[in-house]
Amino acid sequence: MTGNVMDLLLDVPDLSLVFAATLGVVLVCKLIHSSLQYTRWREDYDLLPGSRDTHWFWGHMHLYPGPNEKGLAFQRLRTQQYPLFHRIWISFFRCVLICHHPKSVKFILKSSEPKSTEVGTSYVLGKSWLGDGLLLANGKRWARNRRLLTPAFHFDILQPYMTVYNEISDVLQLKVEDCCKKGQSFELFNYIGMASLDNILRCAFSYKSDCQVLGDSHPYVKAVNKLSDLWVARSLNIFHFSDFVYFLSGNGRQFKRYSDYVHSVAEEIIKKRQQTLEIEGLPTQTNGRKSRYLDFLDILLTAKDENNIGMTPLEIRNEVDTFLFEGHDTTTSAMCWTLYSLAQHPEWQQKIQAEVDSVLEGRDSDNIEWGDLGKLEKLTLCIKEGLRLHSPVSFIQRTTTQPFEVEGYRIPVGTSLAIQIYNLHHNPDVWDEPMEFRPERFLPENTAGRDFYAFVPFSAGPRNCIGQHFAMNEQKVTLARLLRRFTFELDPDHAVSKKIGIVMRSENGIKVFAKPRNL
C-alpha cells in the first residue's frame, strides 16, 4: 500500500513547475489583453484632435518646453490650434485629453467623475503629502467628508473672520510702511504669503504664529514651496512615476522629509485643539459673548455622519494638510498676481482707491466690515480678472467612468482628462484679447450670454472649491486695506516671469515699490 502511494506521488509533476507554468499563462493572457486594449484605445484616441508628432517612447512629453513662460506660450499655441481639446501621449502608455473650452470642460465638471488615479497622474503623485483630503479623495469618502465639512464655510462661520483679516492686515501694512520709509522694494510672495498663512492658521485653526515676523524664512512655507516644486518635477519625469523608484531617489527622499515636517505641523495643531476641546468644549456663550469663535478645526474634530461616526485621525490630518496648503498658497498667488496687474495699470488702482475711500468715508478706522464686501465692486472686477489672467490653480484632473460625446467626438471609458484652467482662461475662441488685463469683462452687461464654464478659477459643479468664499473675502479685505494706504509700482530692475506649479508662482518673485497715499 505504501509503495503504491509513493508511486502516485512520484507521478505528480513538481508543484513549483506547475505554479510557474500557470503564472506564465496568466501573464501571457494579461499581456495579450493589455495589448488588445491598448490597440483599441490607440485607435479611438487617434480619431481625436492632437499633434501627430509623437516619439515612440516619450509620446508628446519631449515637446513640452517646461513649467515656465515658454511652457505657457506652448499651451496657448496648442489652445489656438485645437480650440475644443486635444490629446497628448504621456510616454507610450497613457493618453490624456487636455480640455480648454466651455463645451469640453462643462461635461466633465457637471458630472461626478472621479479625480484621476492612474500611475503618473499629478493627483496620485501628491498623495503622500495631502493624502485623501477633499482635494484628492474620490467616491463615498469624498462625498461623506464634503458633507461633514460644508458647515465650516457657512457665512455664520465666515463672518467673525473679518476681525482676523483686519488684524493681520495691520501687521502687513506696518511691514510695507517700513519699506516705504527705507525707499526699498519688497517681494510680494514673501509679504502676502506670510499674511495669508497667518490668516488660515488663525481663522481655520485659531492658531497664532509668528510667521509674518519670520517672513520667507518660516520653515512651513519653505517646505510647501519645495514640495510644490518637487511635485511638478516628478510629474514631468516618467522614471519617477513609480513610488518605489521615486522614494529611492534624492528628490523622493526630499519629498518625504518635507512631507513628514508638514505632517508634524498639522499634528501639533490638531493635538493642541483636542486638548482645548477636552478642557473647554466647543465655544459657548458667556455673558452674551462666545469665549472664541467656532472654526474649521472645531467642526473637523467634532463632525459625525449619519451613523454617528466621526473622522479618523488620519482623515483629520489629511484635511488639515489640505486646507493649510490650499488655504494659503492659492490665495497668496491670486493676491500677488492681482497686485502685479494693478501695478501695471495705475488707472485701476485709482478707481479701487476711490471706491475704498468712499466705503470708509467718515470712519475712525480703515477696517473693512462684513457689510462692505458687496460694495467693493471695482475691486471684485480686478480680482476676477486677476484670477482669469494669471490662473493661480492651473489644472484639474478627472477620469471618465462612462463614455462621453463632445461635439461629435467619442471619449472612451477610462480616459484621463486634464482641464487646463489657464488654457481655458486664455482661449481666443472664448475671450477677446486674452492676454490683456481688462476687469470690465466682468461687468454684468459684459457677462450676459457668456458660458458659465468659461471662467472656473474655483472649479465648478459638485466638486467646486469648498473654500472659495473664504478666499474671496480674504482677498477683498487684504487688497482693499493695502490700496487704501499705498500706491504700488513695479521695481523696474526686477524681471517677472511665471513658474507653473501646483499654484502659479514667479521664478524670482514679484518686487514692487509702495508709496504712501495722502489721505
Per the annotation, where are the binding residues for heme?
465
8 A C-beta contact, residue 454 and residue 330: no
8 A C-beta contact, residue 490 and residue 496: yes
Secondary structure class of 490 (helix, strand, coil) = strand
Task: Give the single-character DSSP code of 441.
Answer: G
Cβ-Cβ contacts under 8 Å for 494 (sequence gap 6 or more): 185, 508, 509, 510, 511
Q: Amino acid letter at 127?
A: K
Alpha carbon separation from 12 to 8, 15, 18, 206, 273 (Å, rounded): 7, 8, 10, 71, 66
CA distance 452 to 501: 26
User: For residue 95, which of 414, 419, 416, 404 has the smallest C-alpha distance?
Assistant: 416
Q: Which grid coordinates are listed for 506?
A: 514667479
Furthest-apart CA atoms within the chain: distance in Å: 111
CA distance 335 to 383: 8
Q: Which residues sit in the known binding site? A: 465
Helices and strands counted in the chain (H then E): 21, 13
CA distance 375 to 471: 17
Burial of 163 (0-12, 13-18, 19+ CB in 10 A): middle
Secondary structure class of 28 (helix, strand, coil) = helix
